[in-house]
């Protein structure tokens, strides 16, 4: 199993590894940010029966397609399993499956860790052909429905969309006042205690695949659910205990960066130029250009076809653009510690808490 190139999320993959391991399957987890070449190289080295790809962010979907194509070119015969928060059965059927799927080596979307044992046992069991045939037929129907739906959609040409863009009169609605400080600001004075009151615990339970039923779906109502309530409460209490240890030991810490830059839309209004300083703006010397997309799918209303560039004032105005990135550090060291102790539970728990921080 591997998290594909460009993606570092592996909590769900770790849970799958534990579930399969508890059912007597040998799992080789080769980590995160794995290139296609590394995945295929390790698959050959370990002589695996099944290959699993995981991903959380949208670009991972394209990388999974790349891996499927390369597996086909390389003559691989192993079934390919697709999983992760950004994946779906529809994407697997429409985008990934056509590049590799056969009765011998199907491509199958695995919804969550609890399904992994059923899927793998079916692929390695005596009834593999019947199981794969059912999925093949299902995916073919899904592709037909998907492409039939596209026939009913109409897209404007790019020039047509530009003619119906959003036009803001920046004399009437001037840009916001200039920031107090331009450039990059590092934020390293926020403690874990500061963010605890703001934690959204719902994704935490989703990570562990605990889902309450209406009206007990979200936190804290999930504790009242007849099916998962008691386990959810036990899990939450364990999380609170480990979180207190992490805060006390300072084994994790938070950092962020904020960037505020002078910005103007380009002459054609389709992109945004970024400047290091006001002097660079006056001299027309951008350091970067953000190429924006414009809506082109036909609308039934008179609403404009938007681009993010529409909201940035053109040259002659002092507009600005901001961006930020935040992260929790220290998790990798804690994970390594629990791995050395063969403590999968606290390994995954620490990752889930870092994700919430």
**What value does the CA radius of gyration of the chain take, rounded to a whole number of Å?**
25
Q: What is the pLDDT of residue 11?
A: 86
> Residue range 302-323: average pLDDT?
97
CA–CA separation, 172 and 112 (whole Å): 52
Percent of the chain with pLDDT over 70: 100
What is the tens place of the pLDDT at every residue in 182-205? 999 999 999 999 999 999 999 999
Tell the burial category of 205 from Cβ atoms under 10 Å away from its Cβ (0-12, 13-18, 19+).
buried
What is the tens place of the pLDDT at every residue in 101-112? 999 999 999 998
State the average pLDDT for the chain.
Answer: 95
> Residue range 198-219: average pLDDT?
90
Q: Would you say 266 and 274 are in contact if contact means Cβ atoms under 8 Å apart?
A: no
Q: What angle do CA 344, 60, 73 make, to 5 degrees?
A: 105
CA–CA separation, 29 and 20 (whole Å): 12
Dihedral sign of CA atoms 324, 54, 209, 27 in order? negative
Name residue 62's beta-bridge partners.
none
CA–CA separation, 354 and 339 (whole Å): 16
Say yes or no to pLDDT of 323 above 90: yes
Which are the catalytic amino acids? 7, 9, 60
CA–CA separation, 45 and 57 (whole Å): 28
Confidence band (pLDDT; 50, 70, 90) for 8? confident
Q: The whole model's pTM is what?
A: 0.78
For helices 36-46 and 59-73, give the axis angle rounded to 10 degrees: 50
> Residue range 4-20: average pLDDT?
89
Q: What is the pLDDT of residue 231?
A: 95
Say yes or no to pLDDT of 216 above 90: no
Say yes or no to pLDDT of 152 above 80: no
More confident residue, 255 or 153: 255
What is the tens place of the pLDDT at every residue in 110-142? 998 889 999 999 999 999 999 999 999 999 999
What is the tens place of the pLDDT at every residue in 82-108? 999 889 999 999 999 999 999 999 999
What is the tens place of the pLDDT at every residue in 263-285? 999 999 999 999 999 999 999 99
What is the tens place of the pLDDT at every residue in 21-39? 999 999 999 999 999 999 9
> Residue range 204-232: average pLDDT?
91
Say yes or no to pLDDT of 291 above 90: yes
């Amino acid at each position: 199993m591997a998290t594909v190139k460009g993606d570092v999320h592996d909590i769900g993959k770790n849970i799958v590894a534990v579930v399969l391991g508890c059912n007597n399957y040998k799992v080789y987890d080769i980590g995160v940010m794995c290139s296609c070449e590394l995945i295929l190289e390790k698959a050959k080295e370990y002589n695996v029966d099944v290959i699993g790809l995981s991903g959380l962010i949208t670009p991972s979907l394209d990388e999974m397609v790349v891996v499927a194509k390369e597996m086909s070119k390389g003559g691989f015969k192993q079934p390919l399993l697709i999983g992760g928060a950004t994946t779906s059965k529809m994407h697997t059927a429409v985008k990934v499956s056509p590049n590799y799927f056969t009765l011998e080596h199907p491509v199958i979307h695995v919804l969550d860790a609890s399904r992994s044992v059923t899927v793998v046992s079916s692929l390695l069991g005596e009834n593999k052909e019947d199981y794969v045939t059912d999925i093949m037929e299902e995916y073919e129907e899904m592709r037909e429905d998907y492409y039939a739906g596209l026939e009913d959609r109409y897209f404007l040409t790019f020039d047509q969309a530009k003619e119906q863009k959003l036009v803001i009169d920046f004399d009437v609605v001037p840009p916001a006042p200039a920031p107090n400080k331009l450039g990059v600001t590092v934020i390293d004075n926020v403690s874990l205690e500061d963010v605890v009151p703001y934690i959204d615990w719902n994704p935490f339970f989703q990570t562990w695949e605990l889902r309450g039923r209406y009206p007990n779906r979200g936190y804290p109502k999930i504790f009242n659910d007849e099916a998962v309530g008691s386990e959810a409460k036990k899990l939450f209490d364990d999380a609170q205990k480990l979180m207190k240890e992490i805060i006390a030991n300072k084994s994790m810490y938070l950092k962020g960066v904020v960037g505020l830059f002078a910005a103007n839309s380009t002459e054609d209004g389709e992109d945004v130029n970024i400047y290091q300083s006001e002097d660079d703006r006056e001299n027309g010397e951008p350091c970067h250009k953000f190429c924006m997309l414009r809506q082109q799918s036909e609308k039934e209303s008179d609403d404009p076809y938007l681009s993010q560039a529409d909201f940035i004032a053109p040259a002659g105005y002092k507009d600005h653009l901001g961006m930020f990135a935040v992260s929790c550090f220290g998790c990798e060291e804690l994970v390594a510690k629990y791995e050395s102790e063969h403590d999968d539970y606290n390994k995954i728990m620490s990752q889930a808490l870092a994700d919430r921080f």
